[in-house]
Structure 1
Amino acid sequence: MKKTLTIVFCLFVCSLAQAQQGSITSLSISPTNPTISDTIFVYCDMQFGYSSCDLDNSAYTIVGNTIPASSHHCLGMLTAVCNITDTFKINPLSSGVYNFILTLTSGFGGAPGPPCTPGIVPDDYDTVQFEVIDPTIIETINISKLDFTFYPNPNEGLLHYNISQDLFLSNINEMVIFSSNGQEVLSNLIRDQKGTIPLDLESGIYFVRMRMNNMELTSMKKLFLIR
């Protein structure tokens, strides 16, 4: 008899756990493209199969670039469809890519009745990934090495350059030369697709790249200068 009651109780608990299961229907963030100065709001849309689904408690922590979060809801006793949205407010973050991971649980009870029961098993999981941008960092883009060429190399002081049409039309306006220790030693305005630049520099190894109005191109080429 005792064994039978145990089995019946287990079946009841399992059916209750299955019946109370809710689901996360969507996760979204605002603003869509947050910066390091923005407060971020994560909106979590959920659906339950009961007449009420009040929020009991929610929390989140920040562990590196992972943001684990939890949300627990108290359900009513009547069968119905209950939709609700939880909102998480996250203070400004440093730049990087983050993963917000939400675990949803639910129980029965809550005000004005008895305390809400804990979730037996998690109802659902979901995650949303977003990137926080630092607008003070100059944007960089990579270009193919074929986008600009110069000659001769090694060079004796007069550098000829040739810029591809696509690159020239993208508002390239300056050629920049750096020393081997990364110091900018020469910059020259680019007005034509082809041209010649005098190099008033000492013999050594240099690096050349192109610069646009609001960004620098990260493709660099080595230049040997021999006097």
Structure 2
Amino acid sequence: MSTEATLDFVNQQMIYWQSETVFREVLGVGAFYRAVYGVDSVSGKHISDGQRLLDGALVLTQYGAPVLGLAKFAARFAPSKVVSSAERQINAVDKLKLEKWSYPPNEAKYLKYKAVYDNPKYYNQTTGDINWPPNNGFSGTPKDTIIKEGSLLDRYGEPRGEFFSPKDVPYEMRALALHSDEANYYVYRVREDFQVKGGTAAPWFDRPGGGTQYIKYHSNGKPYTMNELVKEGFIKSVSIRE
């Protein structure tokens, strides 16, 4: 056999064994052999007990999990999940910042809405005080509006608050502050026609707004609370969802 033919044969054999090795690893055969015999099937070298244990776990995950009903378990506790869980931990700098806030969110909520809480447009980064939207949260100039008797109104938040909406305006379209996510939900029925200022909620807190919101003012310019509207007979409470 010529030298050129010999080199070509050797090259083909190398390609074959490389392909064979990859094929074995994909199917888990290589891992199975190493786990059982403690020897690498390609190099013939003995492997460590730690490597044998790792290969055994790999084979069990690849073939045993579906059979034993452990697929969901394996997927849940895969290394990638462990890493992402670690990434969801609050860091020391953020924890120190929140300790100085008057009303800090819990850790899970802070991490979920971190971009909002970290934005000085929405929250004072030193005290945690809310920076409310300009123009009382209206997009444009609110207009005088008559709310008719029998209409249903609602509000996320306690009756000492002032803003309300027609019932069933989608939550995200109200552009409420994040603490409102856990607020009690109140529904009211209008007892007699009354005039309010009404308009469209402006986007804020990274929420789209666009829903209708109302507020009513006293003659001195001070807003009515929901309690005051009830007391003066404009509305009555229908239901509360805590």
TM superposition score normalised by structure 1 = 0.28
Structure with a larger share of its residues in helix: 2
TM superposition score normalised by structure 2 = 0.27
Say which structure, 1 or 2, has more relative contact order (CA 8 Å, 6+ apart): 1
Structure with a larger share of its residues in strand: 1
